[in-house]
């Protein structure tokens, strides 16, 4: 076992960080206190700000700034690279701070593989934590009071956090009852029948890991791909691309499908749920889309049907990503519709828009012997499509 790294801004939180460190050390766990404060101060840390700052790609001078925001941002970059240099020694990482400290520390936490304990005690942990957690498994603990001194509240909250971290790094996880290789699948409500069937069929030979394609879901799947933690991908639901391009709330960002290219992992993809862009409640849909084909999925989610022009752009985006993939790729186009509600009689049935999507992918993908686009005369949730996806997956996994 390596060490637990206790990280925070020693210019404002040193006493609190020392308290956390001492409690973890009392559990017979090795600790490394890392001070990332950006103003001059004395420190008792094992690793001081200057040592961390030296890991910035542009040198330590990049962290020196009279603008606190700029200094914090630069120190955050330096901390990411510092963590990269200590990957073999970090058994867990814990931080404590306010909004600035949380924004500084959590990007470095996200550099660690899924499964390495990560805990952030933060004043903003009861709000929207998505920008801090991202696709990682960071545990956010609300500090209740500000992280400012040791009082009757903070001593308990910080103490619980310290003991939780000590418990995570000293307690072994029961081994899996199976050694089946893990496979990543992406799913949305409107592609559930397909992915459920695929998981059923694969479960005898693989360990199916299903990710909800809500932006962070796709990012999480690709983080595991980048970490080498899956042996193949059935990316049936690429709806996050539609949200990225059209402005929905479930975007996974510009790097969607990027991990597939970087790792050459065997890949079977499709266009599940790209017939829709996701918004919140009906009254949150931007005014510019008021006259569009809208479908209330539930009180908190409103779907908007993508147009032929939007689908054409989505197809071109996907094609560009696939062209960067040198590993085995099979991409399937369901001619009978890309979701449960893109079928005859359903609210998003629009063959013209679907055809614009399919044609854009076919026209722009540079097909090779191992990068193949195939049409399937079925809806994406039909059994015929399930079997086509299974056959394609067997093909990319043949080696």
**In the predicted model, what is the mean pLDDT of residues 180-207?**
96
pLDDT tens track for 92-150: 999 999 999 999 999 999 999 889 999 999 999 998 898 999 989 999 999 999 998 99
The predicted pLDDT at position 69 comes to 87
Domain covering 3-170 in this structure, CATH number: 3.40.50.12020
Secondary structure class of 160 (helix, strand, coil):
helix
The predicted pLDDT at position 235 comes to 98
pLDDT tens track for 250-290: 999 999 999 999 999 999 999 999 999 999 999 999 999 99
Lowest mean pLDDT across 294-303, 346-355, 373-382: 294-303
Bridge partners (DSSP) of residue 11 are none
Alpha-carbon gap, residue 391 to 316, rounded angstroms: 25
Domain with CATH 3.40.50.12030 in the chain: 182-396
* Cα distances (angstroms) measured from residue 111 to each of 114, 137, 244: 9, 11, 23
Q: Which residue has the tokens 């009861």?
A: 126
Domain with CATH 3.40.50.12020 in the chain: 3-170
Residue 399's pLDDT band (cuts 50, 70, 90):
confident
Let me know the angle formed at the C-alpha of 186 by 183 and 192, rounded to the nearest 5 degrees. Answer: 115
CATH topology (fold) of 182-396: Rossmann fold (3.40.50)
Task: Encode 261-303 in three state secondary structure.
Answer: HHHCCCEEEECCCCCEEEECCHHHCCHHHCCCCEEEEECCEEE
**In the predicted model, what is the mean pLDDT of residues 353-362?**
98
Strand 301-305 to 294-298 pairing: antiparallel
pTM for this entry: 0.80
Torsion angles phi and psi, residue 107, rounded to 5: -60, -35
The predicted pLDDT at position 174 comes to 87
Residue 65's pLDDT band (cuts 50, 70, 90):
confident
The predicted pLDDT at position 68 comes to 83
**Other CB atoms within 10 A of residue 249 CB:** 14
Alpha-carbon gap, residue 232 to 220, rounded angstroms: 15
Lowest mean pLDDT across 5-14, 20-29, 58-67, 182-191: 58-67
């Amino acid at each position: 076992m390596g060490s637990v790294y206790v990280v925070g801004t020693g210019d404002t939180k040193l006493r609190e960080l020392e308290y956390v460190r001492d409690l973890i050390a009392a559990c017979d766990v090795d600790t490394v206190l890392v001070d990332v404060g950006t103003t001059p101060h004395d420190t008792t840390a094992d690793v001081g700000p200057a040592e961390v700052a030296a890991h910035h790609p542009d040198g330590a001078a990049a962290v020196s700034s009279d603008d606190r925001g700029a200094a914090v941002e630069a120190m955050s970059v330096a901390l990411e690279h510092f963590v990269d240099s200590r990957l073999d020694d970090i058994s867990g990482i814990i931080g404590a701070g306010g909004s600035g400290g949380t924004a500084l520390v959590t990007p470095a936490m996200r550099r660690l593989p899924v499964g390495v304990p990560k805990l952030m005690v933060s004043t903003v942990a009861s709000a929207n934590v998505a920008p801090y957690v991202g696709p990682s498994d960071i545990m956010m603990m609300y500090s209740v009071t500000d992280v400012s001194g040791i009082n009757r509240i903070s001593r308990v909250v910080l103490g619980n956090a310290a003991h939780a971290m000590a418990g995570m790094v000293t307690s072994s996880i029961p081994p899996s009852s199976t050694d089946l290789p893990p496979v990543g699948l992406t799913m949305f409500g409107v592609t559930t029948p397909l992915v459920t069937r695929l998981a059923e069929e694969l479960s005898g030979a693989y360990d199916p890991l299903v990710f909800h394609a809500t932006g962070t879901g796709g990012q999480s799947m690709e983080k595991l791909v980048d970490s080498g933690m899956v042996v193949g991908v059935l990316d049936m639901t690429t709806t996050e691309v539609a949200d990225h391009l059209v402005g929905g709330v479930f975007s996974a960002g510009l790097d969607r499908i990027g991990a597939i290219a970087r790792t050459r992992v065997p890949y079977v993809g499709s266009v599940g749920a790209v017939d829709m862009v996701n918004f919140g409640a009906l009254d949150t849909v931007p005014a510019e889309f008021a006259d569009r084909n809208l479908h209330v999925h539930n009180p908190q989610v409103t779907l908007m049907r993508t147009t032929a022009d939007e689908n054409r752009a989505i197809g071109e985006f996907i094609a560009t990503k696939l062209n960067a993939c040198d590993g085995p790729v099979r991409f399937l186009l369901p001619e009978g519709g890309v979701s449960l509600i893109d079928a005859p009689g359903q609210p998003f049935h629009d063959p013209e828009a679907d055809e614009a999507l399919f044609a854009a992918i076919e026209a722009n993908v540079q097909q090779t012997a191992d990068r193949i686009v195939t049409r399937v005369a079925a809806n994406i949730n039909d059994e015929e499509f399930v079997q086509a996806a299974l056959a394609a997956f067997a093909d990319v996994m043949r080696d």
